[in-house]
Amino acid sequence: MGYNDVMYLAIFLPVTAVIYKLIPKKYRPAALTASSWLYFYLSSQELIIYLIAATVWVYGIALLIGKSQSPKVRKAWLTAGLTVLFGTLLYVKYTNFFIGTINHVMAGRESFIPLQAQKILVPLGISYYTLEAAGYLLEVYWQRVEPDRNFLRISVFLGFFPQIMEGPIARYQDTAMQFTAGTDIVPDNIVNGCFRILYGMFKKLVIADRLYLVVNEVYSHSGSYHGAVVALAGVCYTLQLYMEFSGMVDVSLGSAQIFGITLPENFRQPFFSQSASEFWRRWHISLGTWLKTYIFYPVTTSKMTMKVNRKVRKKWGKHAAKVVVSFLALTPVWLFNGLWHGPQWNYICYGIYYLVLLMLEVILEPAKNAFYKKTGWDKKSHFFQAFRVLRTWIIIFTGELFFRANSQSQAWSMFKSIFHGFSPAQLLPGNLPDFYIGSADVAAIIVGTAIVLGVDIARERGVHPIAWMRSRRQPLRWALYYGLIFSVIIFGAYGTGYMPVDMIYAQF
């Protein structure tokens, strides 16, 4: 049951909200736990045992870490906690990847019997709740939060139903206390939450699910396309991913808002980024924050890294030290980022791609500053800002072209095929393949994207779209509500000729 299913939107969410509203405040945390576990059960059946076991494990280990005064014992409990959490994740998600890799490496050797792939079912949201659980244990270990004695709070923190499928991956201190506050459901939150859900559904059904048809056609028959058409597929996939992922996160945040719970934002107008590093501060923010908090900073402040930092600073200066430390810290961050998305080499290459780009940013920083100083050109001028945004788009589109590929070899052959007979004329009407979508679909994609772009521009300028809309006069406000509702109902890509499209990030 995805967040775009009628079952979720018309039955599960409203029924849960009504029950939550009707019961006394003190039972509301239990109701959130029960509804979250029920949601998990409806989607993953008996695999709920993974979530319950992880909850009990994390709850207990945090108390044990907090109870001990001995650094050694605390570290031992933390190690045990993380080993079980990540061991389980590795087992369910990566066993077959390792088996495949071993078989590939050993193939052809005498006496080697290929290992059999295992049938392992992956529990819903394990990639998401494992990171939240690990983050919580580390926070307790670093004594930045107290171990929580409220089991229901930990249960909802790890399993909250609007978050379990695609995040956002929250830090304990940012969300946990809200789950047991028993906040009442009030009209303001219902209106704001429902509007956000509708906006998310608009992005998914009107735009993303139509772009899916184009992207799926090119990637399914990649050998038949070349030049600008393949480049267009890369752009379309990036847009599809943004509309779909940010749209489903809108549904998550809107659902939580109905209960008076604020989840962290996962996107901040990523296509206004002026560099690859800025892009990752605006795209899938919660994963970036997790990686920065729990891998990047611990590596940069580790004894080994600080020792290297000091040595390199003394010998080659500050910039060299920054380059070396960045490399030491970014390598595990980007390998983890790639692998987290799934057991495929193209995800690992995707991670390495961004590692290289970010390292280049660090290495070239002095040369870049010297360039602006020498020429006297203003790096904050509109021209340079636009140039950097365009350059970042190319970086993003290329990365997503690889990310979407079914294999590494397909990614490379598609990338190379862009330069084979490239001509902008390929994109002119009449020359472009129809991709099994009609001109009305193309119009829906263009108008829909223009609306989302308009909202993103407004947000970039500090305007909050929902607050803005709610401050309009009643006729305009209701026209906007109905406009959005009917555009989803009338222009949504479902029914004859369309197929339901699963949530992309739910598979990670």
Partner 1 sequence: MKKSEIRAKILESLMDIDDTVDYEHETALVTDRILDSFAIISLVGDLEDAFGVEITTPQMVPENFDSLDGMTAMVERLMQ
Residues at the interface with partner 1 (CB under 8 A): 142-144, 277, 281, 292-293, 296-298, 300-302, 306, 309-310, 313, 318, 321-322, 325-326, 329, 362
Rank residues 369 and 507 by Cβ distance to partner 1 and give the closer one. 369
CA atoms within 13 A on the CB side of 72: 0
H or E element, residue 250: helix 228-258
Rank residues 337 and 487 by Cβ distance to partner 1 and give the closer one. 337
CA atoms within 13 A on the CB side of 367: 5
Minimum distance between the CB of residue 300 and partner 1, rounded to whole angstroms? 5
CA distances from 495 to 199, 285, 389, 489 (A): 20, 34, 38, 11
Minimum distance between the CB of residue 309 and partner 1, rounded to whole angstroms? 5
Exposure class string for 246-285: b at 16+ Cβ within 10 A, else e: bbbbbbbbbbbbbbbbebbebbebbbbbbbbbbbbebbbb
Minimum distance between the CB of residue 298 and partner 1, rounded to whole angstroms? 5
Rank residues 169 and 213 by Cβ distance to partner 1 and give the closer one. 169
CA distances from 50 to 39, 85, 117, 135, 193 (A): 14, 10, 21, 18, 30
Minimum distance between the CB of residue 255 and partner 1, rounded to whole angstroms? 26
Please give the single-letter amino acid code of residue 345.
W
Rank residues 321 and 493 by Cβ distance to partner 1 and give the closer one. 321
Rank residues 379 and 470 by Cβ distance to partner 1 and give the closer one. 379
Rank residues 285 and 396 by Cβ distance to partner 1 and give the closer one. 285
Share in percent of the chain as helix, strand, coil (round to 5): 75, 0, 25
Rank residues 199 and 354 by Cβ distance to partner 1 and give the closer one. 354
Minimum distance between the CB of residue 397 and partner 1, rounded to whole angstroms? 23
Minimum distance between the CB of residue 297 and partner 1, rounded to whole angstroms? 4
Rank residues 322 and 459 by Cβ distance to partner 1 and give the closer one. 322
Residue 36 burial class via C-beta count within 10 angstroms: exposed 0-12, middle 13-18, buried 19 and up: buried
Cβ-contact 280, 260 below 8 angstroms: no
Minimum distance between the CB of residue 144 and partner 1, rounded to whole angstroms? 6
Minimum distance between the CB of residue 331 and partner 1, rounded to whole angstroms? 14
Which residue from 219, 195, 118 is spatially nearest to 470, judged by alpha carbons? 195
Minimum distance between the CB of residue 83 and partner 1, rounded to whole angstroms? 19
Radius of gyration of the chain (CA): 24
Query: How far apart, in whole angstroms, are the C-alpha atoms of residue 170 and residue 287?
Result: 9
Rank residues 261 and 291 by Cβ distance to partner 1 and give the closer one. 291
Rank residues 268 and 477 by Cβ distance to partner 1 and give the closer one. 268
Minimum distance between the CB of residue 303 and partner 1, rounded to whole angstroms? 9
Query: How far apart, in whole angstroms, are the C-alpha atoms of residue 205 and residue 491?
Result: 8
Minimum distance between the CB of residue 279 and partner 1, rounded to whole angstroms? 12
DSSP-H helix ranges across 23-125: 28-44, 48-67, 71-106
Tokens in use for 266?
A: 């996962």
Cβ-contact 89, 57 below 8 angstroms: no
Minimum distance between the CB of residue 325 and partner 1, rounded to whole angstroms? 5
Rank residues 75 and 472 by Cβ distance to partner 1 and give the closer one. 75
Tokens in use for 192?
A: 């704001």
Rank residues 207 and 325 by Cβ distance to partner 1 and give the closer one. 325
Query: How far apart, in whole angstroms, are the C-alpha atoms of residue 247 and residue 202?
Result: 8
DSSP-H helix ranges across 259-317: 276-282, 285-291, 297-300, 303-316
